[in-house]
Structure 1
């Protein structure tokens, strides 16, 4: 066992030994605990330098659980440290088994990911922005002191957990530290991550972010297939080589291993924060594990007194939460949409809590901010709403996975989807009234909540089990599907179908030639026979 890990394990043992002495347990039991601690306390590196508050909520819950279960965690998070300190994890953040690494420059770029409301116009706009965006992110990551600290570390890690969103540039750490890694995706997996793990793209039923729904006609399936395959090759042939060029220029290291090769060699598992009850079904390999809702059943953050007072005053009318996610700033909403929201909210008897970063923009609108509206730069959404807590919704999706999630929710009957370009005050007001007054929305979301909660294993326990499983089995190479060694056309059996097509065409051609020869032979024989008859 490496010295660093032994030291960490023994430090953990000393804490447990103190507990045992205070409870007067026999020496034999203490010895068993010593052995157990040495075996089960793993040293885990969690990498989320590129992140968002919503992603951090998921990772923070996982890190907290890992630490509480006795593991040692080094956690590099790209948000400001004060964003990590909430009621349910304050004690964990001060735990000696957790080392928190933060980066001020990364915190600055993570506060604004340059995703705006104009991105609703085209599902491909964000895709084509990825190379420039990732190039900028990676340059900042490679220049950050924390990255160099980890690159030069002699500490032994048992496992790395990486946020699957825009953190490809950190994968060089897996090779340098020679340790397997797990992707944790906070939304449905992209086609290129499914390809990397060797799982089917399932384009006949699983819509990529530019898709519509799972039941598709021929043209929709064709579009979904073409765009999914294009996304895989775009990421492999454009994005990853660009990251490698940035690494060479920034780090000054030539002959770097390609990120695709690092993924193929070190990627062990994909955890996805989805569940088949509320997301489109995806047939996967054993190396893909759904852990949807794993962050929803932890201790909740206590609401501020100011917010509690505002909510209590809502009375029987209740309250409405308005948020467009953590990567979209509310104050980026065009003025005419602001007017629609303000005018609509002024007509409501309910209180409205609105995620809005810059209140000054609202104050300059023609419609004043109604007295029943409270704006906040960040909302504790788990404490206020979620499918998990049986709350119906109205969706105005922008980009990424939002459109297909909104479509799925509307198809399942617990939400109303409105397109931004069709948004009017009357449409929004009527949608709110339908959600509030038509019982089937509330009944349906209760059904969905029951489905999501009805799991054999708690999602967090599931995530922890598989994380420990990968460590116990040295990267779990037996989970690797043979398809990971095949190209995408081979995985889709395109080569087989082409071969069968060629064989079929060849056999058809041979059959045609044989039939043609036979017909010609028979025809000639008949002609000869007829001529002989005439001669005779």
Structure 2
């Protein structure tokens, strides 16, 4: 009996620790998205899984168990040279429409790429496909062709933009759309905009987005079912979000939040940079606009305003700038590239000025550094609204930027110790987890592998039509029932009243009174219309 039990335990151990072959696709031309995929791949490879990693960027380090391939049609230079400041002024609705158009172009470019075609039509077998989701639903066809479960990785927070994939509830009263300038605490006008954005997106998805992705899907995977069916069979969706930062949301059990998955332990800084930070007795302000936005694309007027503000502070300023800046003040140090996480980990960094991208914001909060945001578009506005709500940052939106606002925001954050104290408490909350974000993501991916795609976690809401999902058929049925009951009640009340009048002997009096009032009404109408009649006859003669 003991031998049988021991053998059973051994089999369970072998099952739980068996390795898998995983195809991982992160096709977005953005370094921040690449870093998320890189962290996930490293975590899976450390568990012994064999990963084929398709991405837009070449791996700088060789990782055991990982075969990395750069997409042949990769064009990272295109994104690095784009001037995203030209997108200023777009409304959330225009961003929604333009992002869909861009996503369709990007998705077709990925599906037609020779590397992806080789994976689709080659002889290699896999146990799982992990695909980055950035409005790229047609990529679900890759997992279908390979006959394996699909896991999606999303670089931003769960929202109304993503809920349809897992049939998660849409609650626009407190679930902000990532393209809107809102956090969970919305006023009436913000809730109105959020509601309209939700409705417009739902209609746009149903009548344009999904049909277009269906066309793409069947162009490259003709035998596949519809996009909606493939989405319904998604095993899990992993999000780079954390309820400590974004607020708690109702989530299906196969929606996993792993915010901070890309955050690593600090590494040793280059010697000159370490010296620069160590000798900053008054502290350091670290400024970067991230990987996609470029400081060199800032209008000259804005750039000069920023430099003028920096010159008024005694703190050293470390600015990631892509070109030389000879006119900079003496307290400003320019570097074309900086190890951001390691810089933020230095105790002398007192303030992080950022565009409000989610990855940089998470890194700063993990390190206990307050954030001053200059958000430009997409989720940056929402991220900085969250930072303000938490008391760890101030937002100065780019389209509202002035030299005075920028100076006041820096001055306030450096002088008011509450920002530093609050962000340090928040950093403790972010790290107070049972496992690290990478370990959490790896666990759920292995859970999907162990349990045949985890179909028991998928919502039955996928089987409902849209009107059933929102109970519109039930509401219509109840409205009809209530209307019929009211009508019957009114008819019966009139009939009963007439019956009582007839039997009481008052029916003749009531009827006569009614006739008198009708006669008086006709007289009044005739008197009122008489001048018009005379005038018409006069005009006719």
* Same fold? TM cut 0.5: yes
What are the superposed Cα offsets for residues 256-306 of structure 1, whole Å, 9 maximum, x if unpaired? 5433322223x111111111111122111111111112222x344443334
Who is 1:228 aligned against? 198
Q: Does 1:160 align with 2:129?
A: yes
Closer/same/farther in 2, CA of residues 381 and 254 from structure 1, 3 Å limit: same
Alignment check: 8 A CA contact 2:159 2:176 kept: no
TM-score (norm 1): 0.82
Specify which of 374, 378, 382 is matched with residue 396 of structure 1.
374
Who is 1:330 aligned against? 295
Alignment check: 8 A CA contact 2:239 2:256 kept: yes
The alpha carbon displacement at 1:170 in A equals: 2.3
Closer/same/farther in 2, CA of residues 516 and 214 from structure 1, 3 Å limit: farther
Specify which of 102, 112, 117 is matched with residue 70 of structure 2.
102
Distance 1:521 1:189 in 2: 64
Alignment check: 8 A CA contact 2:149 2:235 kept: yes
Structure 1 counterpart SS, 2:246: coil
Closer/same/farther in 2, CA of residues 477 and 461 from structure 1, 3 Å limit: same
Distance 2:202 2:267 in 1: 39
Distance 2:11 2:342 in 1: 38
Alignment check: 8 A CA contact 1:130 1:239 kept: no
Who is 2:185 aligned against? 215
Structure 2 counterpart SS, 1:133: helix
Who is 2:238 aligned against? 271
What are the superposed Cα offsets for residues 209-264 of structure 1, whole Å, 9 maximum, x if unpaired? 21523233455334322312322332343233334445666x5x756543332222
Structure 2 counterpart SS, 1:416: strand
Specify which of 320, 323, 330 is matched with residue 355 of structure 1.
320
Who is 1:473 aligned against? 451
The alpha carbon displacement at 1:207 in A equals: 1.0
The equivalences for 1:93-492 within 5 A come to: 93-95=62-64, 97-103=65-71, 105-108=73-76, 109-111=78-80, 115-116=84-85, 118-209=87-178, 210=180, 212-246=182-216, 251=220, 257-265=225-233, 267-296=234-263, 298-313=264-279, 315-357=280-322, 359=323, 368-385=327-344, 386-492=364-470
Structure 1: unaligned runs, 5 residues or longer: 1-27
Distance 1:322 1:117 in 2: 21
Closer/same/farther in 2, CA of residues 228 and 530 from structure 1, 3 Å limit: closer
Alignment check: 8 A CA contact 1:396 1:419 kept: yes
TM-score (norm 2): 0.82
Distance 2:465 2:335 in 1: 48
Alignment check: 8 A CA contact 2:21 2:49 kept: yes
What are the superposed Cα offsets for residues 495-523 of structure 1, whole Å, 9 maximum, x if unpaired? 33333233323322332222233233333
Who is 1:5 aligned against? none
Structure 1 counterpart SS, 2:468: helix
The alpha carbon displacement at 1:409 in A equals: 1.0
The alpha carbon displacement at 1:134 in A equals: 2.0
Distance 1:531 1:343 in 2: 93
Who is 2:37 aligned against? 59
Closer/same/farther in 2, CA of residues 531 and 484 from structure 1, 3 Å limit: closer
Closer/same/farther in 2, CA of residues 215 and 144 from structure 1, 3 Å limit: same
- Work out which of the two has the higher radius of gyration on C-alpha atoms and give 1 or 2: 2
Who is 2:473 aligned against? 495
Give the superposed CA RMSD: 2.9
Who is 1:77 aligned against? 55
Distance 1:131 1:529 in 2: 71
Alignment check: 8 A CA contact 1:268 1:480 kept: yes
Closer/same/farther in 2, CA of residues 352 and 490 from structure 1, 3 Å limit: farther
Alignment check: 8 A CA contact 1:131 1:238 kept: no
The alpha carbon displacement at 1:146 in A equals: 0.6
Structure 2: unaligned runs, 5 residues or longer: 1-5, 345-363, 513-541
Q: Which moved more, 1:300-309 or 1:132-141?
A: 300-309
Distance 1:522 1:217 in 2: 55
Distance 1:35 1:529 in 2: 92
Alignment check: 8 A CA contact 1:388 1:449 kept: yes
Closer/same/farther in 2, CA of residues 487 and 329 from structure 1, 3 Å limit: farther
Structure 1 counterpart SS, 2:328: coil
Closer/same/farther in 2, CA of residues 306 and 258 from structure 1, 3 Å limit: farther
Alignment check: 8 A CA contact 2:28 2:34 kept: no
The alpha carbon displacement at 1:390 in A equals: 0.6
Alignment check: 8 A CA contact 1:387 1:448 kept: yes
